[in-house]
Structure 1
Amino acid sequence: MDFDFDLLAELTETSGVPGYEDRVRDIVRREFEGVADSVHTDAMGNVVGTVAGSSDYEVVVAAHMDEIGFMVRHITDEGFLEIDTLGGWDPDVLRAQRVSVHTEEEDLTGVIGSVPTHIKDDDEEFSVEDVYIDLGLPAEEVEERVAVGDLVSMDQTTVEMGDQITGKALDDRVCLFAMLEAAKRVSDPDVTIHFCATVQEELGVRGAPALGVDLDPDLAVALDVTVANDLPSVEDEGDYVTELGEGAAIKLKDSSVVTTPKVHRRMRSVAEERDVPHQMEVLPSGATDTSGFQNTHGAKPVGAISVPTRYLHTVTETVHGEDVSATIDLLTAFLETETGDHDYSL
């Protein structure tokens, strides 16, 4: 990989469920040191690293820090944990997974229980309400060490797999990583750039609108993963949305936003001029931080760059190394060529 894989692995393996992104936030602040001219954190937990430009024109770049996870809602008399979701989960991917339970004092390893196939009813339906976590501890000890409201994240390492990278929380830490890498590459920009690590995107795009008001940018660019359905089970290539290894995805729409035509056209033009591999993204469903900036505190031109990702919202989310590089390259080139004079009006 031609980028800092160790930092990407650190970001993805670190826990940070919606509203409790503290550990990821610490990494972001660390990476902004010596890069941003100023760094601040708002009341929601969004982190903004600002690189001052030579004009009053301001651009926001955003990627979210949070990952889908859970919160403990009940402890049974037998010492098992029942949970509530933080973000959208497919229950089918949860059986027999290892998790980390984050208490006030410590992290505890647990597993999500699964009934053995020997005795399982084939017609049995499974939902998140059926999930329980086994900590391997006596009930009395669980009561002493765990409290309702404690957080749960999936326990998974991030590894290279051929030309690809797989692990948990690539949604959206791979884009957070791309943003941080671009921030390190951009120097003496013509415009002021606010690099924003946002919170609570997985709960309905909650952090970005707050920044839209606080920063009131002239242009906003969001980064998020997108669906790559280039799989044997998907026969119609029109349903792929994107394909791994074909480059960064320039978003045209998702279910929450239609990006500004002149913004995505300039992104495409920059990609073509710089020979950055790219593809166009039309995402039928799924919301991103892009929408959080479009009409907050007045209408704004917006664009978005996505990293194609297989197996979204699982612990084996998978991206292609060359797509990650292309995303960093495209974002950097777009920001380096932003003068504040481009006409994005309709």
Structure 2
Amino acid sequence: MSGDFDFDHELLADLVETPGVPGYEDRIRALVRAELEPHVDRIRSDAMGTLVGTIEGANPAYDVVVAAHVDEIGFIIKYVDDEGFLELDALGGWDPRILRAQRVTVHTDDEHLPGIIGAVPPHTLTEEQKESKPEIKDVRIDLGLDAEAVAERVSVGDLVTMDGRLARVGEFVTGKSLDNRVSVLAMIEAARRLDAPDVTVHFAATAQEEVGLRGASALGVDLDADLVLAIDTTVANDVPGFEPGERVTQLGEGAAIKLKDSSVITNHKLHRRIRRIAEERDIDYQLEVLPAGGTDTGSLQRAGGARPAGAISVPTRYLHTPTESVHRDDLAATIDLLVATLETEDGTHDYTL
């Protein structure tokens, strides 16, 4: 690995390691507020927990919304059994196969408790157990405490996140919630860099994206945007077992300009303009066609009426796992492309189709 990363690595570590599952984004929202507030003219949050920092533009009649969701996938405790083991309900999309033998953190009102999701030794498994398909309902958390201590310290409704710190691996950063904290970093960095924009820009740290794009849906009614731009992660299946056409994006090839996902077909005038900006500024980019999975882009495009919508994505390996991985150059390119897109938006571009 050569040199320092071309972004605020310390802030990214804070963002990744601060908990914030859907509906309970309080801690991560407080951190984002503290980082955004010095760089915006005003800041507010709504009843769903979406935070909006606004920079007034020279043309106050033209509004751009930049959205990056702050929530991470996690769990809520639904039952504490008589032996002190915790049963879970998922908050967001988990693959149960990756949960065995993981470390977790249980967040109560008063403390953060380390826990583990155990795995029974293979020596004692029956053939039927070996062939069974894992499900979330079968997952149990072990706190290493006796049942009485667990009952005193943990209750139904407490929250669970994966345990993991941001790490550098070669040219990558890897961590438990890069989806979507890398995009939150990009949004904060854009607010830092944006100086006297021609249009008013609303930086929205949206809530509850991982459970159905809910925060963005409500925000789209509250803000009458003329243009919306979402920042999120996207699939990079550039690993063994996938054909070239199945990769969606590749790490190290630049920021991804979204053409579609299962929630949206982006405005083609907008995504072509973003592509031209990347070429003019010599910013590495690739085009994203995501066959499954939705983002805030779709909700913002149609909540409160039809709006021109686009998205810039950060290619990410191993999405929705504790080892999500992003290439340093792709994140830097995403930040540069977002800033360039906002700097060159003057409210005169015609995005009507």
TM-score range, shorter chain: over 0.9
Q: Deviations over 1:148-171 (max 9, x none)?
A: 010000010111111111111000
- Of 169, 172, 181 in structure 2, the residue corresponding to residue 164 of structure 1 is 172
1:3 deviation in Å?
Answer: 1.0
Letter in 2 for 1:83: L
Between the aligned residues of both structures, percent identity stands at 62
- Of 202, 215, 225 in structure 2, the residue corresponding to residue 207 of structure 1 is 215
Letter in 2 for 1:143: A
In the alignment, is the contact (CA less than 8 A) between 2:37 and 2:53 conserved in 1? Answer: no
What secondary structure, in the 3-state scheme, does the structure 2 residue paired with 1:311 have?
Answer: coil
1:125 deviation in Å?
Answer: 2.4
1:34 deviation in Å?
Answer: 1.6
Q: Which residue of 2 aligns with 1:116?
A: 121
Cα distance in structure 2, aligned partners of 1:18 and 1:34: 26
Spell out the pairing of 1:162-241 with structure 2 (5 A cutoff): 162-234=170-242, 236-241=243-248
Cα distance in structure 1, aligned partners of 2:281 and 2:307: 26
Structure 1 residue 153 corresponds to structure 2 residue 153 = no
TM-score, structure 1 normalization:
0.99
After superposing on structure 2, the runs of 4+ consecutive aligned residues of structure 1 that deviate more than 2 Å are none
Cα distance in structure 2, aligned partners of 1:7 and 1:45: 21
- Of 283, 286, 291 in structure 2, the residue corresponding to residue 276 of structure 1 is 283
Cα distance in structure 2, aligned partners of 1:151 and 1:137: 18
Q: Which residue of 2 aligns with 1:310?
A: 317
1:120 deviation in Å?
Answer: 2.3
Letter in 2 for 1:209: S
1:124 deviation in Å?
Answer: 2.8
The number of residues matched between the two structures is: 345
1:52 deviation in Å?
Answer: 0.5
Spell out the pairing of 1:82-93 with structure 2 (5 A cutoff): 82-93=87-98
RMSD between aligned residues? 0.7
- Of 125, 129, 134 in structure 1, the residue corresponding to residue 137 of structure 2 is 129
Spell out the pairing of 1:1-346 with structure 2 (5 A cutoff): 1-55=5-59, 56-121=61-126, 122-234=130-242, 236-346=243-353
Cα distance in structure 1, aligned partners of 2:214 and 2:278: 30
Cα distance in structure 1, aligned partners of 2:104 and 2:172: 24
Q: Deviations over 1:108-133 (max 9, x none)?
A: 11001211122123223211111000
Q: Deviations over 1:56-102 (max 9, x none)?
A: 10000000000000000111110000000000100011001110101
Cα distance in structure 2, aligned partners of 1:172 and 1:3: 16
Cα distance in structure 2, aligned partners of 1:199 and 1:10: 18
What secondary structure, in the 3-state scheme, does the structure 1 residue paired with 2:53 have?
Answer: strand
Q: Deviations over 1:304-335 (max 9, x none)?
A: 00000000000000000000000000000000
Cα distance in structure 1, aligned partners of 2:272 and 2:106: 45
Cα distance in structure 1, aligned partners of 2:122 and 2:173: 31
1:32 deviation in Å?
Answer: 1.3
Cα distance in structure 1, aligned partners of 2:36 and 2:302: 28
1:178 deviation in Å?
Answer: 0.6
What secondary structure, in the 3-state scheme, does the structure 2 residue paired with 1:118 have?
Answer: helix
Letter in 2 for 1:30: A
Letter in 2 for 1:258: I
Q: Deviations over 1:193-245 (max 9, x none)?
A: 000000000000000011111111000000110000100111x2010000000
What secondary structure, in the 3-state scheme, does the structure 1 residue paired with 2:216 have?
Answer: helix
Q: Deviations over 1:272-317 (max 9, x none)?
A: 0000000000000000000111111110000000000000000000
1:104 deviation in Å?
Answer: 1.1
